Each structure stands twice: as structure tokens, then as C-alpha cells.
Chain A
Amino acid sequence: MTGKKNNNLKGWLYLLPAILFLGCFLVYPLIDVLIYSVEEGYNSASQTYTGIGLYNYSYVLRDPYFLQAVKNTFLLVIITVPLSTGIALLISLGLNAIKPLRKLYQTIYFLPYVTNTLAVGLVFMILFKRTAYTDGLVNLMLRWFGAGPVDFIDGPYWAKMFVLCFYTIWVVMPFKVLILTSALASVNPEYYAAARMDSTRSFRVFYKITLPMISPMIFYLVITGFIGAFKAYSDAVALFGTDLNAAGMNTIVGYVYDMLYGSSGGYPSFASAAALILFAIVLTITVINLMISKRHVHY
């Protein structure tokens, strides 16, 4: 009897550090954020509030900065998730078809994963930016094709969105290529041999065999891609600086942080409401994704 009790105690003792950390920095904040989001007129200096209600939500939903952030985030998601998944699929197929140099290409393609987003973002900024001294390298290349110089960093909205999408795709590609190449490599080669014996055209092999076989991984990437893209923030900071609202390139997560801290900060209630709205959006999209994948993924 004592032995059993001892065992119980020991088990919980081993878990204790994890429980303490998770409780303080994950569970408590989760509950707290819900409370913050309904405390109206919260004052962080005096830590008082005037009432309970949904005012914070309605404020956030009417805030033009938030609406701009939502628009930016949705555009980013809609553009980058399908594009990056598609390009990653093409690259993985290409990688899968070669033998020499494959490892070299794989290593190169993985590099962005291990780089500091902020640091390399700076390089992208320099490549795209127009300054008094130079139009920047990208504009130089654009001129080869007869296109006029555009300031991608401080210029028109579409140009800034383009750079943001481009950089986001550049950053997320390693993970997707890695996952898809290993998914492709794990398809039993006998299926391809069987298809060859039956004179199957390569497009049909891809569409009828490869794609269904790797569809679970594609859906996994789409789902994680949606979640990741909805949380975009540091890529935008890297390109456009910390004052994203001024640049008109803020994201929802950026809005949350701006509400919390910095020159526009000090409003944890608004930040909480915005974060919960984001969470609701992500959850909805993920559930929809899962429902679609259930219908289309075979296994």
C-alpha cells in the first residue's frame, strides 16, 4: 500500500517541474487572456477596469489598423499557402527524379530554415529597396525587362505585399520541400513500376498515383501552412521595420503586439481580444481543412 502511494508521489514529482512551468506560462495565461478580453476599460497602470463586456472585441473589430492587418494577413495566407505548397511540390518532384547532386540541392534548399528571419529579411530589404544612391538590385533586373523602378519597401501597397509574400515563401519553403521529398521517397517504387508496365503517361502517374499517395502530407502542409501564415509577423518586421501600422503592412499578430507594447501599447485587453479573434479564425480554418481532408485523403 505504501509502495503504491510512493509510486504515485514519485510520478507526480517527476512531472512537477513541467507542471509548474506549464501552469505559470501556459495554462494561467490562457485563462487570464480570456478574462482580459472581457474587462472593459482596463488600465494597466492601476490594474483596474470599469466593467465586463464585449466592448474590447467591438473596438478591435472597428479599429482600421486591425482591419488593415486582417486584410494583409488574409492576402498573405491566400497567396503564399497555395503557391509555396505548389512550388514545394514541383521542387520535390524534381529532386525525386534526379540522383547526382540531389544531396547538394537538398542542403541548399534547407538553408533558409536555419537562418535568422530578421537578419536575412534585412538582405531582402536591401535587394528590393530604392534609396537615393541606388534603385536596388531587383529594380536593376526589372529594367532588363523594361519595367520601371518600383520601391518595394516604401512604395505602393501591391509592391510591398509582393515582397512580403516572396520572402514568406522563401522562408517556409525548406520545411515543405523536406516533408514532401520524404513523402515522395516513401512511396513504394513498385507502384511506379506497375504503372510503367501499364504504359501510364507520366502526368497520369502523378495525378492518379503520386498525388493520392502523398495527399496526407500535402494536407498536413496546407494545414500547418495556414496556421503559420496567419501568425505571420517577424517576416513583415524584417522587411518593413517595427512600425508596421505606419507602413500599412501590419499583420494580426503584429497588431496584438503593438497593442501590448511599444509606442501604441499598454492595452492588454485589446490585445487579448484581437488574439482571441485570431485564434477563432485559425481554429475555423483548421476545422474546415480537416473536414475537406477527411473527404479527400485516402487512408
Chain B
Amino acid sequence: MKVVLENLTKRFPNRNKKGDDVIAVNNFNFEIPDGQLIGLLGPSGCGKSTTLNLISGLETPSSGRILFGEDDVTRLPPENRGVGLVFQNYALYPHLTVLENILFPLQNLRGADKLSKEDMLKRATEAARLVQIDGLLERKPSELSGGQQQRVAIARALVKMPRVLLLDEPLSNLDARLRLQTREEIRRIQQETGITTIFVTHDQEEAMSISDMIVVMEAGIVQQIGKPQDVYDDPANLFVAKFLGTPPINVFEGRLSGGRLMIGQEAVLSVPGAPDGIVWAGIRPEGFIPAADGEFTCDLNRVEVMGRDISVVCHHEKCAGAQIRAIISAESRPGDGAKTVRFRLKPRKVLLFDHESGARIPFEVK
């Protein structure tokens, strides 16, 4: 099922003294292709959960339209949308067993859709098998671990064969190990069922690792939509660049003059095609190459060993953050006792942004 969001906007009347409305979602446009896994990504309060609630129908938009395929569902109540929603806290009915929880949506079907008892049971056990909880059907939710509850919640959402599956922060209540495992699980289930799936997360790694497409939001406004790798390599603005990537991008105050990027007194990179002026220069941690004749000199703080790679932590007066972190291969470790370290920069890993607006400034890369 294709999902189309057209100029979607949601305003909440504000309770503060000024009485301005809070715009949770501002003019959201996106056409989600059928059968894709979409990650809605952003810091808390950016409007991603509101967007999810608008799609599920739990909230109605202030303006704009939502289409499932060709059907306009903008004003349709949630019960008629055929959407499966997995809540952040799972919302499993505590007094019902796992099986009863999964059966619950099926028992609501009426009229022509009504199923026989055997069919219901068959569908429920199929869903349980899909999420691999078929051994736990007689338990109560309180007897399950967080990861198991999550699976039950997914099974309950899937059992009615929804047109769209929505997941609200599906991994936030799990511990780190379970998170890795569960996110692969979500990917597997989504690919097996082929249901268009949208999930919300504030964890960029989570979104990048399993999504077909990610949507980065901030303050109700969509910053960028694209394939994870494309958004990472080619961020539209400083916010997106900063939000994606661990360790985060290193940002410096720089100057463009005559097609060269100056950081401090050093001309660190040739950037043909970029206009002169003050800019923010972002350098990804993997964009540094240690070289004795490098153009960029930093004060060395320390070296952290991570095994295959090492992380060089250094310092530069023009750096906007507290410290610079460069990831380099272990062979090129700087010598002991060195006070400074010199780098050459990989042009594709250097990103320039307007000093005022944060918009990306393109330059030619040879």
C-alpha cells in the first residue's frame, strides 16, 4: 500500500500566555512507495510521533491530506483505516494471555470479514510463529521479557493484515543487546510480509541500519528524505549532518577564499565552485588521513584504541565542538609524545554549510 502525505500540518493550541499555536508537523509532503520500511527520525519533540498519530488516525491533521493508495483517509476514524500500530509501551492487555491479545483484533471483525474460530486461531498462531513467540501463547504479558512483549505487540498489529504497519519507538524499551537483535527482526518480518511499514525513532543508527528510506525531522519540519546512505553522504543542511553518524561530524568555523577552505591560517582543502565567505565546515571522523605533509594541523589530546581502528582525539581553536574525533586505521597511529598531528582531508567527507542558514554549500569534487 502506497501512503501519500500531502501538505500535512498539525497545530496544537498552546496553553502558554502568548497563545501561539504549537506547530507539531509543518507542511509534510512524502509519497511512501509500497512495501518499504521507512524510518522517521529526529530528536524528541520534533513531530515524528505526531506524524505517526496522524497516519494512524489517532490525531486529525489541521490541514493537508493523507492517502492510502488512492483512498483519502484524512478524516477517517482510526478503526476504519486498517492500520496496525505498535505502541512504544506495547499496550498489551495485561489481563489477557498472549494468544488472547493476538486474537483480539480478529474478534472485532464483523460482517463479511468475520472469521470462524479455527481461522482466527490459525491466523493468530501464524502471526505468533512469524515473530517467534509460538511457545508463549498461554502466558500473561507480565510474565514476558521486554523483547517478548515487543514481539507480541507486533504480532497483534500484524494479525489483522494491516494495510500499513506503524511502530512508535519500537526499540526504546529494550536493552542494548536486544535492540540489535530486534531491529534485525523487524527488518526480517517487514520483508517477509511486504507491508509498508513506518517506524519512529530518535536513534539514527537504528533508523539507518534497517530503513529503506529515512525522513529526518526537526521542529515539525522535514529536513531531508532519502536512502540512509545518501542522506549520510549528502546531507541537506548542518542539522542533518550533525544528527547522523557516530561519532558525530566535527564542525569548524572556516572561511572560503579563492576556492580554498581556510580553517584558521591553514588552507586545508581546495573547494572549487564555492563562493567566498564565512562557512561551517563539517568533517566526518573518517575523513581524516594522517600525513606528515598534511594541510590541517591539530593539537593532539590522546589516542583511543578500538581494535581495528583508532580514534584520535584532538583539539583546534576553530572547532565548534569541545573536541575533534578522527577515526583512522591502527597502522597510522601518531608517534608517542607527539604534541600535534597533521591530516590530509578526504574531499567527499568534507561538507560546507552556510554560516547563517546552515544550508549546504556544494563544491566540485574531482
Contacts and interface: CB of A to CB of B under 8 A. Distances in A.
Decide if A and B touch, CB cutoff 8 A: yes
B105 A198 contact: yes
Interface stretch (A53-61, A100-108, A187-195, A269-277): A187-195
A204 to B, nearest CB: 7
B91 A213 contact: no
A212 B79 contact: no
A299 B96 CA distance: 11
Interface in B141-176: 156-157, 160
Contacts of A195: 104
B89 A212 contact: no
A243 B109 CA distance: 61
* Most chain B Cβ neighbours within 10 Å, of A194, A198, A208: A198
Nearest to B157: A197
Interface stretch (B80-88, B114-122, B200-208, B317-325): B80-88
Nearest to A193: B58
A197 B84 contact: yes
A99 to B, nearest CB: 13
Nearest to B104: A198
A190 B91 contact: yes
B93 A209 contact: yes
Nearest to A200: B108
A271 B160 CA distance: 65
A298 interface: yes
A196 interface: yes
A4 interface: no
Interface in B54-113: 56, 58, 77-80, 83-85, 87, 89, 91, 93-96, 104-105, 107-110
A200 to B, nearest CB: 5
Query: Which bracket fits the contact residues of B?
Result: 20 to 34
B94 A299 contact: yes
Contacts, number: 60
Given A190-B89, A204-B108, A208-B104, A197 B95 contact: no
A5 interface: no
B108 A198 contact: yes
Contacts of A299: 94-95
A213 B107 CA distance: 19
A208 B103 CA distance: 12
A209 B100 CA distance: 12
Contacts of B95: 212-213, 298-299
B137 to A, nearest CB: 17
Contacts of A47: none
Interface string B11-52: 000000000000000000000000000000000000000000
* Most chain A Cβ neighbours within 10 Å, of B77, B79, B156: B79
Given A190-B89, A204-B108, A298-B94, A198 B160 contact: yes
Contacts of A208: 93, 96, 104
A196 B58 contact: yes
Contacts of A201: 108, 110
A193 B105 CA distance: 13
Nearest to A202: B79
B79 A196 contact: yes
B108 A199 contact: yes
Nearest to B81: A197
Interface in A179-237: 188, 190-191, 193-201, 204, 208-209, 212-213
Contacts of A199: 79-80, 105, 108-109
Contact of B79 (A188, A197, A213): A197
Contacts of B108: 198-201, 204
Interface of B: 56, 58, 77-80, 83-85, 87, 89, 91, 93-96, 104-105, 107-110, 156-157, 160
- Nearest 9 interchain pairs by C-beta: A298-B95, A198-B105, A199-B79, A190-B91, A194-B91, A212-B95, A197-B85, A200-B108, A196-B78
9 contacts: A190-B91, A191-B93, A193-B58, A194-B85, A194-B87, A196-B78, A198-B105, A199-B109, A208-B93
